[in-house]
Structure 1
Amino acid sequence: MVVCNSLPSDLGDHDTEVNKVLRLGSNEDIITGVGQRFRGGRHEFRLKLLLYCIKNGYKVKFIKNDKKRVTVECMKKEQDGCKWRIHASPKHGLHNFFVIKKMGPDHSCGGVIDVKNPPMTSKLVKFLMLEHVRDNPLIKAKEIINHFRMEYGVLLNYYFAWSGKELAIKEIHGGDTLSYHQLVWFAETLMKTNPGSRVVLESDPSTHKFERIFIAFEACISGFKYCRPMVALDGTFLKGKFKGCLLSATAKNGNQ
């Protein structure tokens, strides 16, 4: 358990209490020592190491960081003579299975939590916020920043909050490009599961690039004859990666 004796005044009364604890679980949940395995390979090891550093307030630097090895030393090695060091590499040449080969000795620098400049990355934010984004896809970057301030006692950069959320959404729903590749499957499945529906998918004949899609469900087609003989059109611009325009047609029931 790590204690921070001083926090910036702009964190509010709740977070300026003496002995603010960074709640990230015990050391055993993050880095256990030599022999610990990481099935997610180098990327999982790096994430767990960053969590370990945030929890204990350590600053580290990567000496080696490639597919074959990751070696990290304490940032205060020259300043305070801290000899802490950790080294991990693949097990028996398997690049997707990292193992801690060397670790120690213990830190002698006495880590202090740097609430303004935590060792944060977008992938780490995604790792910590994935379930929150799954439960609330409309969560804002400011809410994520506030969550990190209240839950972990650190001030998260706006960019990391925003990009971390984007990575979480991509992992949950898939990327935009993949969604366009699935349009043909979507159109065929819709026709099979909704007989009588109308789907028109158009693409550029030379590049096969998506141009437009039209969808009318059978229930809407059949129900239109009971509506007033008037169609209202509305549209909105799509502000995602590929832009575009979404048009919709609606009608009123005859008894309205």
Structure 2
Amino acid sequence: MTFNTKEEVQHVLNAYHIKKGLYYRVEKSSPTLIVARCVNSTCDWRCRAAFITKSQKWELRKLSGEHSCSSPIITQDHVNLGYVYIRKSILSFVESNPSISIPTIITHIKSAKGDTISCCKAWMAKQKPIEDLHGNWEQSYRDLPKLLSAMSGFLNGFVVEKQTRPLYNQQGEMVHHYVQFHRVFWTFKPCIDGFKYCKPIVQVDGTFLYGKYKGTLLVVVAQDGNNKIFPIAFAIVEGETAEAWFFFLHYLKRHVCPQDGLCLISDRHESIKNAYARQGSGWTPENSVHVFCIRHIAQNFMRHFKNTEQKKLIINMSMYLASLITLICFTIFQHY
């Protein structure tokens, strides 16, 4: 019996043992050899497969018959049901729906194989098909400059501002002719043009990225005449630092909302306050006003006072004041 790859050998071993409800362990593994035997020391089952240079195939060289034991392990999650084996079972599902949830994968394996796998196994099994479809993390970062360049060339009015920093090796020496991604800001022409017809209010916030290299996604939204959210600019930065927020607010003012009379809404993060007040950001008390989001104020209130009723009063009071200010502005607008 021959196989094209070592992975195929392992897949067949796993499939056989999962189906029979038996267990094996790998006794020896190398690029050209795999030796497996039963986990039960009283059982003589043993398997040996090797890579044959002449045929460039993996060949089953020794198989000592059937297992002479019963399973000594009772578990819902089969030891040999690894993420590589699971990946083959869910490949078609991930290809048709890359956002398939981990619970759905667990349910599928339970239905198909009769075993309840862990969330960790399901997550790891999903990563390889995702990588095959969209590339790995390293390649994605390498492709980022080309992608941004293509968007700049083919999307009319697309705006991108990126920052890099020197790359250092493990010895602390600078690697010449290479740089490391640091930050990127981008927006689209429809976002810039559409903001002209929105209320003179922008709200900024950030959320953590949970990929391999972490970071933070910064987003700014406005509100149109129908009270609908209108995204206008985005950035990926190293975190919610003062430098990162200054980078974001500076280019937001330059490219999207250079007009005066804007209201900037944010949470009470010190980095945002420092970036807003910093010279060169483009935001000053003369051309804008910086206020805090009522939702964040209410959350901070609850941390200190734990009073739900008073929290509702604070929110209702703020909503009433906002409605009153809107009505006054509308009345003035009609008058003129």
Give the TM-score, by structure 1 length.
Answer: 0.70
How far apart, in 1, do the equivalents of 2:147 and 2:59 lie?
42
2:50 is matched with 89
1:26 is matched with none
Per-residue Cα deviation, 1:18-57 (whole angstroms, up to 9, x for no partner): xxxxxxxxxxxxxxxx2x32x2x11221122111211122
2:268 is matched with none
The unaligned stretches of length 5 or more in structure 2 are 169-178, 228-336
Q: What is the CA distance between 1:190 and its match in structure 2?
A: 0.6
Kept after mapping to 2: 8 A contact 1:54/1:113: no
Among residues 9, 19, 23, which one is paired with 1:59 in the alignment? 23
Q: Is 1:157 equivalent to 2:121 in the alignment?
A: no
Q: What is the CA distance between 1:206 and its match in structure 2?
A: 5.4
Q: Is 1:42 equivalent to 2:6 in the alignment?
A: yes
How far apart, in 2, do the equivalents of 1:85 and 1:109 lie?
13
1:100 is matched with 60
Give the number of aligned pairs: 216
Which structure is richer in relative contact order (CA contacts within 8 A, separation 6 or more)?
1
More divergent stretch after superposition (42-51 vs 173-182): 173-182
Q: Is 1:128 equivalent to 2:89 in the alignment?
A: yes
The unaligned stretches of length 5 or more in structure 1 are 1-33
Larger Rg: 2
Task: Check 1:216–1:94 CA distance in 2 against 1; reply closer, same or farther (3 A cut).
Answer: farther
List aligned pairs for 1:144-183, cutoff 5 A: 144-183=105-144
> Counting helix residues as a fraction of each chain, which structure ranks higher?
2
How far apart, in 1, do the equivalents of 2:7 and 2:218 lie?
42
Task: Name the % identity.
Answer: 30
Per-residue Cα deviation, 1:40-76 (whole angstroms, up to 9, x for no partner): x112211221112111223223333211112223344
Q: Which amino acid aligns with 2:16?
A: Y
Q: Which amino acid aligns with 1:237?
A: F
Give the TM-score, by structure 2 length.
Answer: 0.55
Kept after mapping to 2: 8 A contact 1:144/1:161: yes
**What is the root-mean-square deviation in Å for CA atoms of aligned residues?**
3.0
Q: What is the CA distance between 1:185 and its match in structure 2?
A: 0.9
How far apart, in 2, do the equivalents of 1:48 and 1:172 lie?
25
1:236 is matched with 207
1:29 is matched with none
